[in-house]
Structure 1
Amino acid sequence: MKAGNSKPRRAMVIGAGIGGLCTAIALRNEGWQVTLYERSPGIPQVGAGIVLAANAMKALSKLGAADQVQAQGAPIGKAEIRTWDGKLLVDLPTTQQAIKYGTSSYIIHRVTLQSILLDVLGATADVQFNKKLVGWTQDQDRVTATFEDGCTGIGELLIGADGIRSKVKRQFPESSPLRYSGFTALRGISVFEDQRYPLDIGGGFEAWGYGKRFGFTHLGNGRIYWFAAINSSEGIPHPAAERKQLALSTFCGWYQPIESVIAAAEEDSILSHDIYDCSPIGRWTEGRVALLGDAAHPMLPNLGQGGAQAMEDALVLAQCLQSVDTDIPAALQQYEQRRLARATKVVRQSRLMAKVVQTEIPAAIFVRNRLLRMIPPSMHVKRFDWLVGYEV
């Protein structure tokens, strides 16, 4: 508890994913007593890689987790964009970026990141599993959350960090339906080596084709995280036993090592998800209740900013709630005002990027590739300075 605070206040956080854990750490650091409620029976042990750009690493530094991420993740030392058959379009100046922003970008397994955040939160953290939210009510002084098992939680603040299908958000007056992106994603992890992409450098490449693309990057410990984004109708099932063959057939003849790294993946480890976002909403708060991360601003993964924006949310939220005497509804409105425009811009830019990278129109692909070759390396850094150069 911070000096000068006479009595800690109680906060409830719904969802123990990356956003929820970061929120619990940030609020705890400001003297709040926090209870995390997670619908799953434990921290999920499946997942894929997550990219942490400079803005995410700076947020993790403030949360006390950056050193562990650097030790257990892999730096992105190479970041290429290629055509489907391997012609180089862009060799991003990762060293220049690291110097400019004071840190490299990293990639880490999502489960590892969650374990690190739990470790930072500490063994005494109040994390309750198998807690499926039914709904919430509030009055002038407190919020009450009700769960499927009949239990209730009471606090002066409730944060919905429960993802793109947020139960907390359903009671907000303004909502927005899920919007299918037009593509589905396959994600896998393979033990694999390629001399062109050495482990000590890290990183890798993306290859862009006609309505599909493939990403390859080091995850550490000799592992490669790879993803495939494939234009597709919504809701087509891809059973686990068929996903590897789907990836192999989709990317047959593409730039090597794509087929080889897919072939090296364990069949039952490949994940498949349709990708969604929502049109931005203009209100994230309702009295003593606020939304955070994907619950507030679900975005497509094309800029690699979903986790980073949740981390930024958590830090700003805690800053707005620093004082024990804070008017909580007013503080939450301040949080919304400080975060809304930036997060909305990231949502829209991610959607725009999807149109660029997933297009199937030959003329558009020709123009896109030609422009990418013409842009100097320093301009590639400058284009995203507003995004990855940001610090809360």
Structure 2
Amino acid sequence: MYAIIGAGIGGLTTALAFKKLGIPYHLYEKAESINAIGAGIWLAPNALKVYEWLGILDQIKDAGNSIDRITIATADLKPLTDSRQDEAKEEYGYSTIAIHRAELQKVLAKNVANSNISWGKGLESYTETNKGVELQFLDATTTTVDFVIAADGINSVIRKQLFPESKIRYSGQTCWRGVTEYKLPEEFNHRGLEIWGKETRFGISKLSKDKTSWFAVVKSKPFLTDDRETLKEDLLKKYNDYTTVVKDLIENTETSNILRNDIIDLKPIKKWYSDKVCLLGDAGHATTPNMGQGGAQAIEDAYFLAKIIAENKTKNAFEEFQKVRYKKVSSIVNQSWITGKIAHLGFGSIIRNMVFKNLPKSLIDKKMHYVYKLDNE
């Protein structure tokens, strides 16, 4: 029996992959139910291919919105890179889907049997023994399982116990995320847009028929808080020189639907597992959101881990899992970190814009295919 800790995107996808391949499991989540608070997420073709394998791709398409064009632009909407996703559709069968995180979790959770999930069951600690792994929960109950999959996020309780030297890194940037029912101009309905200014960024994605997600990133000291009464006014000042649609989105978002989080990742660690415990997704390799691949890499983890366990090609499935995944994951973590720094250049922004505007399409496509393909393709 495998215990999966955490019913986020990685944990729920792992549950569905285990279900498909007949691997016995039980999922434990500290929250009482799916948390509706949050913002949008992109599911690129590498993630969508996993959900097609799981038989739930149509459900995800129905809950989200297709992104057929991805643009990085200046504050006045002059494109720096502009990638229509026709080639991705032809190669992989679909382009990117933008979806609200809570809607994605709902789709995943409804496909997991209720008998396989325990809600309101937060993990306090664990103990590896000769017989398996004893789990100690916050409600003072315990249970023993054979193996544990830690899908409990960047602040993983399990990782902190397994690798106490692991460290979370602050990127030097903070991010506001909003969701609004404001109707976008038609040209943005199926277009993912990221706008780069001087030391600021703004991103836009339509999530569904009546919801649009946006994010606003600036350089900042960590752990700062907002005056909620003046939050929208403060954001409008920061993005005063941006295109009109940016200001319209901020103005038409309820303050209660604007969340602030510092942008962090996990300083890469060399090992993700012990004999009976394995880290998955953000618990093992949290990345900054600059490539839109944080969730997708957790989804890929679930796919490969389940296949390796089911095929039983090696005595240590967790070791094999890391061998399969480590190179790609590390590349994405490092590239995303660097991209975040480049996007927030101040005096160097003019040079940055010239470089990006003149990037050859072949290079952009090569990077796209590296990310979009599953590791074994």
Aligned-partner Cα distance in 2 for 1:194–1:305: 25
Q: Name the structure 1 match of 2:373.
A: 389
Shift of residue 253 of structure 1? 2.8
Contact 2:5 2:151 in 1 (8 A): yes
In the alignment, structure 1 residue 359 sits paired with structure 2 residue 350: no
In the alignment, structure 1 residue 160 sits paired with structure 2 residue 150: yes
Contact 1:93 1:381 in 2 (8 A): no
Sequence identity (%): 33
Contact 1:133 1:146 in 2 (8 A): yes
Q: Name the aligned partner's letter for residue 193 of structure 1.
A: K
Selected match of 2:34 from 39, 43, 47: 43
Q: TM-score, normalised by structure 1?
A: 0.91
Aligned-partner Cα distance in 2 for 1:35–1:242: 45
Contact 2:71 2:82 in 1 (8 A): yes
Structure 1 runs not aligned, ≥5 long: 1-9
SS of the aligned residue for 1:340 comes to helix
In the alignment, structure 1 residue 308 sits paired with structure 2 residue 296: yes
In the alignment, structure 1 residue 115 sits paired with structure 2 residue 106: yes
Selected match of 1:33 from 18, 24, 35: 24
Contact 1:58 1:391 in 2 (8 A): no
In the alignment, structure 1 residue 147 sits paired with structure 2 residue 137: yes
SS of the aligned residue for 2:249 comes to helix
Shift of residue 239 of structure 1? 4.6
In the alignment, structure 1 residue 207 sits paired with structure 2 residue 195: yes
1:194 to 1:40, Cα distance in 2 relative to 1, 3 A: closer
Selected match of 1:78 from 56, 66, 69: 69
Q: TM-score, normalised by structure 2?
A: 0.95
Aligned-partner Cα distance in 2 for 1:391–1:222: 35
Shift of residue 378 of structure 1? 4.4
In the alignment, structure 1 residue 243 sits paired with structure 2 residue 227: no
Aligned-partner Cα distance in 2 for 1:83–1:245: 22
Q: Name the structure 2 match of 1:373.
A: 357
Deviations 1:9-61 (A, max 9, x none): x1101111001101111112222222111111211111100001111111111
Structure 2 runs not aligned, ≥5 long: none
Aligned-partner Cα distance in 2 for 1:13–1:158: 6
Shift of residue 152 of structure 1? 1.1
Aligned-partner Cα distance in 2 for 1:239–1:27: 45
Selected match of 2:317 from 331, 342, 345: 331
Contact 1:91 1:377 in 2 (8 A): no
1:72 to 1:173, Cα distance in 2 relative to 1, 3 A: closer
Aligned-partner Cα distance in 1 for 2:363–2:313: 43
SS of the aligned residue for 2:270 comes to coil
Selected match of 1:226 from 214, 221, 240: 214
SS of the aligned residue for 2:139 comes to coil
Q: What root-mean-square deviation, in Å, do the aligned CA atoms of Structure 1 and Structure 2 show? A: 1.8
Contact 2:180 2:257 in 1 (8 A): no
Aligned-partner Cα distance in 2 for 1:37–1:246: 40
Aligned-partner Cα distance in 2 for 1:160–1:278: 15
1:132 to 1:240, Cα distance in 2 relative to 1, 3 A: farther
Aligned-partner Cα distance in 2 for 1:387–1:55: 7
1:281 to 1:174, Cα distance in 2 relative to 1, 3 A: farther
Q: Name the structure 2 match of 1:280.
A: 268
Shift of residue 63 of structure 1? 2.2
SS of the aligned residue for 1:285 comes to coil
Q: Name the aligned partner's letter for residue 12 of structure 2.
A: L
Aligned-partner Cα distance in 1 for 2:76–2:11: 41
Q: Name the structure 1 match of 2:4.
A: 13
Shift of residue 106 of structure 1? 0.7
1:194 to 1:38, Cα distance in 2 relative to 1, 3 A: closer
Q: Name the structure 1 match of 2:89.
A: 98
Aligned-partner Cα distance in 2 for 1:225–1:308: 18
In the alignment, structure 1 residue 193 sits paired with structure 2 residue 183: yes
Contact 2:314 2:320 in 1 (8 A): no
Aligned-partner Cα distance in 2 for 1:140–1:243: 54
Q: Name the structure 2 match of 1:182.
A: 172
Alignment length, in residue pairs?
376
SS of the aligned residue for 1:286 comes to coil
Aligned-partner Cα distance in 2 for 1:171–1:287: 14
Q: Which sits farther off after the overlay, 93-102 or 144-153?
A: 93-102
Contact 1:240 1:270 in 2 (8 A): no
SS of the aligned residue for 1:111 comes to helix
